[in-house]
Amino acid sequence: MLELRMVDTKHVFQVSGIKNLYKKGKLLEGIHQLGGKYIGGSGYNDRTTHLIVTHAPMASEKFLAACAGGKWIVNPNYVLDSAKNGSWLPEEPYELDSSWVVPGAVNPVRVWRERVTNGAVAGAFEGWRVLLIVKPTQKDIFQRILTAGKASVHSSCPSSDVAVTHVLTNHVVDYVKAQNACAPCYPTTHIAHHLLGEQVCSLMGWTWTLGETGETQTGGEPVETQTGGERWERQTDFSGIEMEARDYISQIEEARRLREELRSLPETMSYNTPILNSQSSLVSFHNVQNLTECGFFTEALEEILTYLQPGQHPPASFLQPLMQHALHGDAKPLFYNVFHTVLRTILRNNPPRGSPSTERFFLKVLQCPQCEKGVWPYLETSFRLCMGSELTCHSFSSTASPELLRFHGDLQTFAVKLFKCDLRAANNGQAGVVESNLLNHVFWSVWDRSTLGSRPVQQLVELLVEASKWMCSVCEVQAWGAERSRRQRLVLTLQDMLGVVVDVWCQRHSRLNPSLVERSLEDLAQHLAIICQDLPLDVLEALVPGIVSTRLRMAAADSIFRMFCHRGHITLGVEPLSLRRIVSYLAALGKLSAVGPGDHQSDSSSPLSEPEHTSPNLFNPGTITEMPSGLVNGAGPRKKNIPRGVNRVNAAGETVLHRACKRNQVETLLQILALPGIDVNVKDHVGWTPLHEACNHGSHACVKALLRHHPAPQLKGQVGGVSPLHDALLCGHTDIAKTLLRHAGSDLLLQKDHHGRTPLDLVSSATLRQELKQSALMGDTAMEHLGSEVRDLPFLEACSCLLKCLLLTYQLERPQVQDVPLSLGLKLARALKKHSAQRVTAGWADTQSVRLVEDMETVLGVEECLAQLVPAVTECQGAHTRLLIILLEEMKEHRAALLTNTDAL
């Protein structure tokens, strides 16, 4: 009993929103250490004096009840810091502020606490006499919230001598229609609106509107009430918009399906259905074998061509010696032409639509007769032979003649036509194509068909990159001659082949597992980005837009641009690919435009520093040195090669970053910052960041490394009123203070600690004060010039080319907002003018319709995104950058037209 009497009744705690058992255990340990009391359970207890939450506002019973009762709502650091201090600290520095939701707004939580503490009100609902009509499962929750704010709650109409002031229910219209309302009727969300205000609650996702008319509306139909003075608006029904959006998207999908079907149909080729007739058994190709053995190769081909008919093809063993003769290089041009004609005729008469015999025929014929390793090894050898590479399946006796090179080109084109049969079957959803098709045998084994990035597909991508570089290396004299045409034809064939392979695989898996398709496309795109890291920028600008598969083109452009940003220390979000994500890249483009030779150079002693290249390429335009996220220490795509223990904290909550900054271990710091997912602003239990520790301990090299990192550390964060600049000056590290001011400018000098002192107030020397002001002016000048000029135009053009390609391909692959019917566009614009896309699409089942609304929301906000572009980008005269700006301006014009027509209605 003596121990219970000693419990501090002024510090009675409850916790909301903290699920981590370790963190909660630390809080309970600190509460008991200082003699406080903890009350568990999921419901609010009126004896509570302090509620611990991680953020505000929260849509929880405890938060709303504590706010209504005027209790302290603090963050976990209040308990942790008090435990370190040995006694309870003042609560004000730790009180959670909701102004981060609505910048500049008054904190309603603090307002209610001060009013209750000063005795102005007993609670937020003082004087309320509430008739509560809700489900039995919700009754206790709302009753505890209302009672905490000193409201009187009734579950039925009280006697006539007690006047009800509020009727709270989830079904306002039904209640008003069923009976005469005894008081103004509100939805239950009115509780949060009264506590936090309409602006905060609308951002939390609670939708209602208070007006001044005497009518209640729902779905546009007015319902009269007898009380007047208040209007509420129920959740608007957007199901009609969803139906219109789905109809529009279905029309777009049908048009795309027809376009894909036409693309999959080889040019000027109509395929016959393989039907065996009564005469097919009389056809004999044995004379072909005799002609071949006698060396009459052209005559053997003509003999085959004579007997070809639908449902009939010669044995593959008869064509293999003829293929070996063709690849030997001594054949006549007529032989090559007839051989190609034979293959095309066989394909026309016997399309491999789920026909195992036809598939086996082409698998045996289209391979090197000497190696017999399969179709893809032959195709790879054929492409490399045309590029003059020595990496072939076996050595050849002589240099390939022009006729042989032309024959290889014809066979490569024929292989693409053959593969397009599978694409057409996949688009039509023909039976048998899933389990048995030619592409499965060529590019996938039975063990890796669930992944797009099989080894042959990766080799096809690598071959495409190599061929693109080979095409651009043709000498200027031959720039427009036959050699350049031949190289262009080979690259186009590779592009077409890769497009068919990717599209067939995606068609096969998209219906059953669309998330697998997205992951596989991302992995293959990252593989492409990795092998492009030494690619010249002009080759890159030709390679990515030429990718035939629109889905792979989008993924590749996105992956390469994100690698640019990671190399430039720019952190990007991880949301799924959408128009919002593409437009958000504009801010990163502005930063990349300022990249130039000499920027972001690593310390020469750093193990991450790289030698400077003399010619710019994809990932080293002479500026960027750090490895991208996800590729540290040679890690492949999606592999998180993070050393064990890098995120482990000690008893004070300090990470490896904190300890490296304390000891000025800049090499360790750089290695950690290069890892994916590292938070440069991580805090210990007190709230100190690595930058605070570096400024406090005089670790100048670590401060410089942190300031070079992107995203940059927070320079204005304070702990107990101490900012990094205050910390550096209090500890006498004036060189660090000057570095901070040269980086961020005069804004840092305006900060005040809890005693109202600015950084200059901490300096007694007039000379030093003047030097600090001069450093701040240097920072202001540098920030003004940032983005005013392009430091590396080819690099900016490559970035703009990727974004332009990404934006155009997205508009081609997804339903375009600009093409939405006018009636649907106006309805969406009108809805998004009042509500968020998340609110409009709440409950929608069709993901494509949801994406369309999100894209419309992005278009309506594109003007704000355009404002993020620095003058260096908007005024750039490069072709790719100018086209990108034009596309964005068109979106801006479409937005203006929608808003104008919406206002006119």
Structural domain contains residue 205: yes
C-alpha neighbours within 13 Å on the C-beta side of residue 382: 30
Both tokens of 322, joined, read 């003829």
Residues 209 and 343 placed together within one structural domain of the fold: no
The 10 Å CB-count burial string (b at 16+, else e) for 320-355 is: bbbbebbbebebeeebbbbbbbbbbebbbbbbbbbb
Sign of CA dihedral 561, 563, 568, 570: positive
Residue 81 has pLDDT above 80, yes or no: yes
Question: Rounded to whole angstroms, how far apart are CA atoms 821 and 247?
Answer: 11
207 pLDDT tier (thresholds 50, 70, 90): very low
Phi-psi category of residue 102: left, alpha or beta, with phi > 0 → left and psi -120 to 50 → alpha: beta
**CA–CA separation, 878 and 790 (whole Å):** 11
Rounded to the nearest 10 degrees, how much is the dihedral formed by the CA atoms of 82, 85, 89, 93? Answer: -80
Whether residues 179 and 108 share a domain: the answer is no
Cα 299 from Cα 321, distance rounded (Å): 13
Q: What is the DSSP string of 135-204?
A: -HHHHHHHHHHHHHTT-EEESS---TTS---EEEES-HHHHHHHS--SS-EE-TTHHHHHHH-HHHHHHH
Helix (H, G, I), strand (E, B) or coil at 13: strand
pLDDT at 831 (0 to 100): 85
Rounded Cα distance between 93 and 74, Å, is 9
Q: Could you give the number of structural domains in the chain?
A: 5
Tell me whether residue 457 is in a domain.
yes
Mean pLDDT of 234-250: 74
110 located within any domain: yes
Q: State the pLDDT at residue 459.
A: 93
What is the average pLDDT across 213-229? Answer: 33
Whether the per-residue pLDDT at 222 is higher than 50: the answer is no
CATH of the domain at 133: 3.40.50
pLDDT for res 214? 32
- Residue 644: what pLDDT? 58
Domain boundary among 83, 117, 151: 117
Asked whether residue 45 is domain-assigned, the answer is yes
Residue 666 lies in a domain: no
Closest residue by Cα to residue 567 from 632, 481, 503, 502: 632
Q: How far apart are CA 497 and CA 46, in angstroms?
A: 70
Statement: residue 23 has pLDDT above 70 = yes
> Do 591 and 614 meet the contact criterion of CB atoms below 8 Å apart?
no
Report the C-alpha gap between 518 and 574 in whole angstroms.
14
* Mean pLDDT value across residues 176-196: 69
Q: What is the pLDDT of residues 706-743, one digit of tens each?
A: 888 766 788 888 887 888 999 899 888 999 999 999 88
| Contact predicate 154/164, CB 8 Å | yes
- Cβ neighbours, 10 Å, residue 768: 15
Q: What does DSSP assign to residue 719? A: B
Q: Is the pLDDT of residue 614 over 50?
A: no
Residue ending a domain, among 117, 144, 173, is 117
- Tokens linked to 159: 């006697």
Q: Give dist(CA 441, CA 377) in Å, integer.
A: 12
Q: In sequence order, which residues have a C-beta less than 8 Å from that of residue 475 and are 6 or more positions away?
A: none
Last residue of a domain, one of 553, 581, 611: 553
pLDDT at residue number 366: 87
Calpha distance 11→35 (Å, rounded): 8
Q: Are both 36 and 108 inside the same structural domain? A: yes
Q: Are residues 341 and 394 in the same domain?
A: yes
What pLDDT was estimated at residue 610?
33
| Residue whose C-alpha is closest to residue 168's, from 198, 211, 139 | 139
Amino acid at 231: R
Residues 313 and 405 placed together within one structural domain of the fold: yes
The C-alpha atoms of residue 743 and residue 98 are separated, in whole angstroms, by 30
Q: Is-contact 478 484, C-beta < 8 A?
A: yes
428 shares a domain with 355: yes
Percent of the chain with pLDDT over 90: 16
In terms of Cα–Cα distance, which of 17, 13, 47, 46 is closest to 146?
46
437 has a pLDDT exceeding 80:
no
Any idea what DSSP says for residue 905? -
CB 630 within 8 A of CB 676: yes
How far is it, in rounded angstroms, from Cα 39 to Cα 220? 46
Confidence (pLDDT) at 703: 92
Q: Is 353 or 755 the better-scoring residue by pLDDT? A: 755
Domain membership of residue 124 (yes or no) is no
Of 108, 227, 99, nearest to 167 by C-alpha is: 227
Q: Which residues pair with 167 in a beta bridge?
A: 131, 185
Q: How far apart are CA 846 and CA 47, in angstroms?
A: 47
- Assign 433 a pLDDT band (cuts: 50, 70, 90): very low
- Does residue 271 contact residue 421 with C-beta atoms inside 8 Å? yes
Report yes or no: 345 and 272 within 8 Å, Cβ to Cβ.
no
Distance of alpha carbon 864 from its chain centroid, rounded? 20
Q: Which residues contact 325 (CB under 8 A, 6 or more apart)?
A: 297, 331, 335
C-alpha span between 127 and 145 (Å, rounded): 15
How many C-beta neighbours within 10 Å does residue 262 have?
Answer: 10
Q: Give the pLDDT score at 263.
A: 56
Separation CA 799–CA 805 (nearest Å)? 10
Whether residues 297 and 438 share a domain: the answer is yes
The long-range contacts involving 225-228, CB below 8 angstroms and separated by at least 24 positions, are: 225/176, 225/181, 225/184, 225/185, 226/180, 226/181, 227/181, 227/183, 227/184, 227/185
In a domain, 830, yes or no: yes
CA distance 54 to 89: 18
Q: Report the alpha-carbon angle 414-499-390, nearest 5.
A: 65
Three-state SS at 396: coil
Decide: residue 753, CB within 10 A, 0-12 exposed, 13-18 middle, 19+ buried.
middle
pLDDT of amino acid 499: 92
Any residues with CB less than 8 A from the CB of 296 and at least 6 apart, and which?
none
Mean pLDDT of the 132-138 span: 80
Cβ(392)–Cβ(398) below 8 Å: no
Residue 678 is predicted with a pLDDT of 77
The three-class DSSP label of residue 781 is helix
Measured CA distances, 639 to 341, 491, 523, 740, 876 (Å): 48, 31, 11, 35, 37
pLDDT for residue 616 = 38
Encoded tokens for 327: 């690849």
Average of pLDDT values for 300-317?
82
Average pLDDT, whole number, for the chain? 77
For residue 100, being part of any structural domain is answered with: yes
Name residue, tokens 């540290």: 632
Do residues 452 and 545 both lie within one domain? yes
Note whether 276 and 419 are same-domain residues: yes
* Closest of 239, 56, 249, 236 to residue 836, by C-alpha: 236
> From CA 852, how far away is CA 825, in angstroms rounded?
10
CB contact set of 399 (below 8 Å; sequence gap of 6+): none
Please give the biggest Cα pair distance in the chain.
119
List, in order, residues 6 or more apart from 12 with CB less than 8 Å away: 36, 37, 38, 39, 47, 48, 49, 50
State the Cα–Cα distance between residues 579 and 558, nearest whole angstrom.
Answer: 12
Confidence of residue 597 (pLDDT cuts 50, 70, 90): very low
Cis preceding-peptide flag for 57 (omega within 30 of 0): yes
Q: How confident is the model at residue 629 (pLDDT cuts 50, 70, 90)?
A: very low
Q: What angle, 0 to 180 degrees and rounded to 10, lies between the N-to-C axes of helices 402-428 and 333-349?
A: 10
pLDDT above 70 for 816: yes
Question: In percent, how much of the chain has pLDDT > 70?
Answer: 77
Q: pLDDT by residue (tens digit) across 775-784?
A: 988 887 776 6
Give me the domain span that covers residue 483. 447-553
State how far the Cα of 35 lies from the Cα of 9, in Å rounded to an integer.
9
pLDDT over 90 (residue 527): yes
What is the C-alpha separation between 469 and 655, in angstroms, rounded?
45
One domain, residues 9 and 103: yes
| Dist. CA 797–CA 800, nearest whole Å | 5
Clarify whether residues 410 and 337 are in a common domain: yes
**How confident is the model over 298-311, as a mean pLDDT?**
83
Residue 283: which pLDDT band, with cuts at 50, 70 and 90?
low
Does residue 423 sit in the same domain as residue 314? yes
pLDDT at 320: 85
CATH code: domain of residue 35: 3.40.50.10190
Plot region of 354 (φ>0 → left; ψ -120 to 50 → alpha; else → beta): left
User: How many CA atoms within 13 Å lie on the side-chain side of 602?
Assistant: 23
Cis amide leading into 711 (omega within 30) = yes
